[in-house]
Amino acid sequence: MGTLLGVIASPRKFGNSEIFIKEIHRCLEGSWDLRLVRLPELDLRPCLACYQCLFEPMRCVQKDDLELVLEALVHADAVVVAAPTYFLGANASLKRLLDRGLSFYAHIDALWGKPAVGVAIAGVPGLEGYTKLMVDSFLKLILADHRGSEVVYGALPGEVLLGEDGPAAARKLARALELGADGSDPKTPRCPLCGGDTFRFLPPKESKKSEVQRIRCMTCSSEGTVRWDGTSFSVETVRGDHPFFLSREDAVAHLEWLRTMKDLFAKRRDELKAVTRAYKDTGTWIRPEKK
Ligand SMILES: Cc1cc2nc3c(=O)[nH]c(=O)nc-3n(C[C@H](O)[C@H](O)[C@H](O)COP(=O)(O)O)c2cc1C
């Protein structure tokens, strides 16, 4: 109980993302205050890659609505994010916010471990592409306790709650928020370290025949293997040198690593300049005419 923040990555008012979040809120027991942000209507500018937010006073130099969203995330007790699929990925408003994620590190302690769930919505069954992976990445990068995510289908506004599957997914995610377990299908192979279910196949280390396929978890970046034992697939992954993020300490370590890049850049500035200078006059830029 407390404040539930609904992050809607759809421009459509009363669209599927909005009503799905509201349905999860309805399914929660007790009294939850639902606060909502609709990302496409906010002024969230592209990251400038200046890295200034990593150093005191740890604030983005751009004056837009980022602080508004950060405040809402920091003060929420739990988070639900819903993103519609646009051309096989989440609506770009979610990525725009994610691209400003260096600013999240100023709030590691306040953000770490908030219960959170997500939903990827697609109009055509099977055409959700990588939307769920983006939703999962969002929950990871806001440092939340990822308690479950689902793909649900519906094209027309409201369609996602017609039929059985959408309402069942909303109930399941509400229970996950409350109880901490999402009751995911145990037959779905998952990364044992982070629960991610999207993997990249990696080439074998030796060319010999093997019943084991090397993989990388696309959610936490850990490498491992997937094996078919005749009945089911089992996934094993091990912590790498730079996991994204399996613990609060991983997030702090990543922040420290990013900060060291400033000194590294200063040290190697001449060497790097020599590389980039060689490309200075290559190509013709296409830009709008100045008015
Ligand atoms: C520009 C655009 C691209 C879309 N691309 C896809 C797609 O690649 N796959 C898919 O299943 N649905 C696609 N859809 C359909 C939406 O995902 C679907 O209508 C969803 O319910 C919208 O959610 P909303 O009501 O919360 O906006 C697209 C919709 C738009 C407007």
Per-residue pLDDT of the chain (291 residues; tens, 9 = 90+): 899 999 999 999 999 999 999 999 999 998 999 999 999 999 999 999 999 999 999 999 999 999 999 999 999 999 999 999 999 999 999 999 999 999 999 999 999 999 999 999 999 999 999 999 999 999 999 999 999 999 999 999 999 999 999 999 999 999 999 988 655 677 789 999 999 999 999 998 876 667 899 999 999 999 999 999 888 899 999 999 888 899 999 999 999 999 999 999 999 999 999 999 999 999 999 999 998
User: Do 38 and 8 contact (CB within 8 A), yes or no?
Assistant: yes
Number of the ligand 1 atom closest to the C-alpha atom of 89: 8
The alpha carbon of 234 and the centre of ligand 1 are apart by a number of angstroms equal to: 33
| Distance separating alpha carbons of residues 124 and 134, to the nearest angstrom | 18
Q: How far is CA 65 from the centre of its chain?
A: 19
Query: Taking CB atoms and a 6 Å cutoff, what residues make up the pocket around ligand 1?
Result: 10, 12, 15-17, 84-88, 121-124, 127-129, 154-155, 157
- Alpha-carbon separation of residue 99 from 39, 45, 64, 196 (angstroms): 13, 9, 14, 21
Residue 284: φ, ψ to 5°: -115, 125
pLDDT score, position 61: 97
| Distance separating alpha carbons of residues 251 and 253, to the nearest angstrom | 5
Is the CATH code 3.40.50.300 the one for domain 2-179? Answer: no
| Distance separating alpha carbons of residues 166 and 12, to the nearest angstrom | 18
Residue 194: φ, ψ to 5°: -130, -10
pLDDT score, position 43: 98
Q: Tell me whether strands 212-217 and 223-228 are parallel, antiparallel or unpaired.
A: antiparallel
| Distance separating alpha carbons of residues 207 and 13, to the nearest angstrom | 54
Q: Which of 19, 85, 88 to mutate to test the pocket of ligand 1 (most atoms within 8 A of CB)?
A: 85
The alpha carbon of 113 and the centre of ligand 1 are apart by a number of angstroms equal to: 30
The DSSP output letter for 191 is: -
Q: Which helix (H) or strand (E) holds 128?
A: none
| pTM for this predicted structure | 0.95
Name the residue ranges covered by the structural domains of the chain: 2-179
Residue type, 268: R
Closest residue by Cα to atom 15, ligand 1, is 123
